[in-house]
């Protein structure tokens, strides 16, 4: 048995003990809240409301060390090709590196190109914001970003998150190939004052290019040269030029930037246009600060390491299948979806790095909604359902609406109440007392009391910060990126490929002509054949 194999076995024993223990017991000795929390640069990560004791934490940290988290971390930041199945480096961190940094790949400092592209982005975004870059009808009033996956989720999430800092043109996002998405987005916009950003690394993504062609046709109805109001975020300059976009409005990036990690570079152009180059720089600075923390902090105070190990404990050891991300911040409404892609596309794997079948499940199911909305939707299951759902709360001390400070106080109170309720629950004895106080007796009392029992002992973490800003957003996004990395290394998988996306694309390409009246491929299954026939008739 390998060293990590023994540690996994020991963790399973500790997990068995934890399942028999109520985490409230862990608060009886010492200052658990202080001992089971860690802070960095305005962030406080509290994981005291988990069923992890000091022995378990030490064992998890030992697992991370034996799995080589520190070694793989150095390899990633150094530009080694840790994405082995695609033979690529993983350097989204280079997109937010400090001005003094150097990152060598194949003998070349890649940051030279990164800085040149960022300077071009800053010049262009400044021209758009100032009105120096104009559409056929004058200054740009609206920006439509067309992308899908990371080319959409990242900038859409970020632009919404920093709304109080956005003083540029209005930004809109189109991703779904469903015509309703682009039709509804373009409705009411003036094509003569709209800038369209097409985000596709290869400039061949079928959904994005279909939407881009539709947007170009829409703009051509009012603009003589619609290509003049298009921008490409792509490495395929020639294809963009064929589409009608001049090379000076093409912003490329290297293959060592994965889509779900790409908001830090050209894919973040809409964010830069919204908040300006300086605001975008603050976003990058937050990410760079978290990079430094991840590389230098001891594991027991390292936020990405702790967050990752708690994820491993909850999913692989305790067997909890899902994870709920619950930001008590309306402007982070898209963050759960963003983190859903980040985690499930990265770690949703079935084989280890060497291709051998995994002996345990890898990535959990990630989902969530902002508070307090979720409280009136799915929190019923979280509190009283049979399955346990670990929760990850986020909350700021201060909102951006001083005249509505009472709203924010109520928001924070709800966040703290929910994490406390998940831990302490409500006993049957207390429920009986409550029903007796209402005058119930006998079977009626017992029945009503049973419905009011909360099992409690349900784990949660809370990430608290002062105020949501571009810098704080950068820290949070980078924190979760590195969390996914830590989990992937511990599980021995490649977090940076996504072959599971490919098969559906291939089959869609074969079925597209069928929906236009073509013949079904030989060997098509009966279900697909019947569905095609129904949809053709309808």
Q: Indicate if 108 belongs to the active site.
A: no
In 3-state terms, the chain is what percent helix, strand and coil (to 5)?
55, 10, 30
Q: How confident is the model at residue 288 (pLDDT cuts 50, 70, 90)?
A: very high
Alpha helices in 131-247 (DSSP H): 150-161, 179-186, 206-220, 237-243
Q: What's the CATH class of domain 3-67+297-409+463-497? A: alpha beta
Nearest one of 238, 237, 239, 230 to 252, comparing CA atoms: 237
The pLDDT value given to residue 230: 98
User: Percentage of the chain with pLDDT > 90?
Assistant: 90
Domain residue ranges in the chain: 3-67+297-409+463-497, 96-280, 500-537
Write down the catalytic residue from 19, 359, 376, 407. 376
Between strands 250-251 and 230-233, the pairing is parallel
- pLDDT tens sequence across 233-268: 999 999 999 999 999 999 998 889 999 999 999 999
pTM summary value: 0.95
What torsion, rounded to 10 degrees, do the Cα atoms 202, 204, 205, 208 define? 110
In this structure, the chain runs to a length of 538
Can you spell out the DSSP letters for 373-435? GGGGTTHHHHHHSSS---EEEEEES--S-GGGHHHHHHHHHHHHHHHHHHHH-B-HHHHHHHH
Known catalytic membership, residue 359: no
pLDDT of residue 210: 96
Q: Does domain 96-280 have CATH number 3.90.10.10?
A: no
Please give the backbone phi and psi of residue 322, each rounded to the nearest 5 degrees, phi first: -125, 170
Q: How many CB atoms lie within 10 A of CB 218?
A: 20
Q: Which residues contact 270 (CB under 8 A, 6 or more apart)?
A: 143, 145, 155, 159, 171, 173, 197
345 an active-site residue? yes
Strand positions, DSSP E, 330-386: 365-368
Instruction: Extract the tokens encoding 494.
Output: 């490649």
Annotated active-site residue in 254, 329, 345, 369: 345
Report pLDDT digits (tens) over 171-190.
Answer: 999 999 999 999 999 999 99
- Which entry of 19, 420, 505, 533 is annotated as an active-site residue? 505
Helices (H), 179-317: 179-186, 206-220, 237-243, 269-296, 303-312
- Nearest partner of 482 among 361, 346, 351, judged by Cα: 346
Contacts of 287 (CB under 8 A, 6+ apart): 93, 96, 264, 474, 475, 477, 478
52-101 pLDDT tens trace: 999 999 999 999 999 999 999 999 999 999 999 999 999 999 999 988 88
Ordered alpha helix ranges (H), 297-334: 303-312
Residue 516, pLDDT > 90, answer no
Per residue in 6-41, pLDDT (tens digit) is: 999 999 999 999 999 999 999 998 899 999 999 999
> 98: which 2 tokens?
């400090």
Place of tokens 């406080």: 44
Sign (positive/negative) of CA torsion 82, 84, 85, 89?
A: positive
* Helix (H/G/I), strand (E/B), else coil: 218: helix
**pLDDT 10s digits, 415-434:** 999 999 999 999 999 999 99
The three-state secondary structure class of 488 is helix
Asked whether this chain's domains 3-67+297-409+463-497 and 96-280 adopt the same fold, the reply is: yes
């Amino acid at each position: 048995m390998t060293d990590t194999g023994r540690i996994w076995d020991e963790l399973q024993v500790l997990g068995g003990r934890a399942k028999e223990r109520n985490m409230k017991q862990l608060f009886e000795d010492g200052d658990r809240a202080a001992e089971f929390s860690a802070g960095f640069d305005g962030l406080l990560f509290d994981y005291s409301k988990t069923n992890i004791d000091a022995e378990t934490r030490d064992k998890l940290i030992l697992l991370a060390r034996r799995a080589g988290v520190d070694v793989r971390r150095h390899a990633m930041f150094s530009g080694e090709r840790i994405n082995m199945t695609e033979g690529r480096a993983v350097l989204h961190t280079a997109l937010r590196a400090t001005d003094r940094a150097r990152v060598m790949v194949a003998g070349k400092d890649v940051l030279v190109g990164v800085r040149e592209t960022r300077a071009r982005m800053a010049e262009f975004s400044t021209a758009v914001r100032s009105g120096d870059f104009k559409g056929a009808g004058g200054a740009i009033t609206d920006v439509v970003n067309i992308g899908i996956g990371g080319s959409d989720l990242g900038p859409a999430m970020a632009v919404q998150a920093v709304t109080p800092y956005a003083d540029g043109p209005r930004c809109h996002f189109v991703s779904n190939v469903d015509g309703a998405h682009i039709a509804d987005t373009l409705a009411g916009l003036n094509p003569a004052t709209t800038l369209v950003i097409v985000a596709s690394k290869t400039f061949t993504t079928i959904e994005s290019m279909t939407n881009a062609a539709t947007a170009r046709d829409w703009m051509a109805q009012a603009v003589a040269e619609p290509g003049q109001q298009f921008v490409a975020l792509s490495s395929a300059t020639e294809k963009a030029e064929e589409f009608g976009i001049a090379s000076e409005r093409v912003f490329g990036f290297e293959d060592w930037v994965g889509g779900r990690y790409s908001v830090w570079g050209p894919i973040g152009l809409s964010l830069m246009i919204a908040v300006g180059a300086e605001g975008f720089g603050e976003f990058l600075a937050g990410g760079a600060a978290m990079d430094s923390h991840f590389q230098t902090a001891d594991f027991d105070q390292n936020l990405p390491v702790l967050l990752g190990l708690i994820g491993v404990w909850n999913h692989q050891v305790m067997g909890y299948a899902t994870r709920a991300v619950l930001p008590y911040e309306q402007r982070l409404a898209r963050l759960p979806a963003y983190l859903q892609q980040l985690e499930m596309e990265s770690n949703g794997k079935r084989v280890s790095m060497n291709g051998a079948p995994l002996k345990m499940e890898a990535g959990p199911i990630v989902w969530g909604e902002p508070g307090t909305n979720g409280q009136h939707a799915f929190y019923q299951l979280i509190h009283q359902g049979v399955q346990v759902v670990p929760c990850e709360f986020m909350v700021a001390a201060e909102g951006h609406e001083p005249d509505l400070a009472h709203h924010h106080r109520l928001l924070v109170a709800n966040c703290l109440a929910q994490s406390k309720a998940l831990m302490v629950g409500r006993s049957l004895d207390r429920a009986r007392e409550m029903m007796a106080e209402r005058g119930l007796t006998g079977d009626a009392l017992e029945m009503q009391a049973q419905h009011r029992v909360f099992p409690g002992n349900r784990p949660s973490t809370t990430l608290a910060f002062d105020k949501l800003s571009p810098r704080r957003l950068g820290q949070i996004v980078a924190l979760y990126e590195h969390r996914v990395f830590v989990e992937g290394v511990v599980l021995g998988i490649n977090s940076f490929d996504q072959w599971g996306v490919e098969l559906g694309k291939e089959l869609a390409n074969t079925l597209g002509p069928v929906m236009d009246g073509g013949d079904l491929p030989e060997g098509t299954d009966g279900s697909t054949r019947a569905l095609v026939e129904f949809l053709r008739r309808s």
